[in-house]
Amino acid sequence: MTTRANPLLLLHTWGGDAATWEPALRHLGAGGRHLKALDLPGHGARAAEPFTVDGAVSTALSASADVLHPVDVVGSGLGALVALALAQRHPDRVRSLTLVGFPPAGGAEAARRPADTRAALNRDGAALFARNYVDSTLLSADPAHRDLLRRSMAGTRPEVLIDSLRATLGWTAHTRPGPLGLPCQVLRGARDHRVPAAAADALAERLGGGSAVVPGAGHVAYLDEPEAFATALAAFHDGLRTAPAD
């Protein structure tokens, strides 16, 4: 069995949910590949739950246990943090790892971002906050793509948005430095203004993996350019060695 034939576990971006993967699914599922997009705790159908990294990793682990083979895990933004923590804590369940739109920028501006986000939510309300965030982040011209993220973010409780944002910005507290010991890549939209190219390349080197770019995409590459995103992901998976027979 080739790595590309392994199930694909998809973990959504900050403020997103499983439905935000819909535009990419028909491209990612070419050839009948098994796909599983999750709602992380506090998001989508699990909106009533609190968000913690441990809870999110447990959710992803349960999903990976539903299939016979280790999974190829793909996480974007918040989902990338969860994917990395899953791969480090349960490497036996992960065949390969792709981190998208990650790592988050650091510095003084990042340190202020949770407080600024809370202030904007209090001032504008969830719906307007979501619209402003999507308008400043997504590059896709397709209104359906933009509506997917707007709806999911507007339906996410403010405390979940703040808790998950803090976790993402503080990702080094939940993960370990050093090579993963499994195939990995850091994938970045060519027009991502939230993740510097140098930071993505440095993370790839730190994890012992490679880096690649999705042409035309911004921070949420799987919504901006779903077909190009799927092409970049397939190139990574096709380049992996054939897995040994079980």
Domains and CATH numbers, the chain: 3-238 (3.40.50.1820)
Segment 214-226, tens digit of pLDDT: 999 999 999 999 9
Residue 129 main-chain phi, psi, to 5 deg: -60, -45
Alpha carbons 200 and 203: distance in angstroms, whole number: 5
Q: What are the residues facing 42 on neighbouring strands?
A: none
Amino acid letter, residue 148: L
Over the stretch 42-92, which tens digit does the pLDDT of each residue have? 999 999 999 999 999 999 999 998 887 899 999 999 999 999 999 999 999
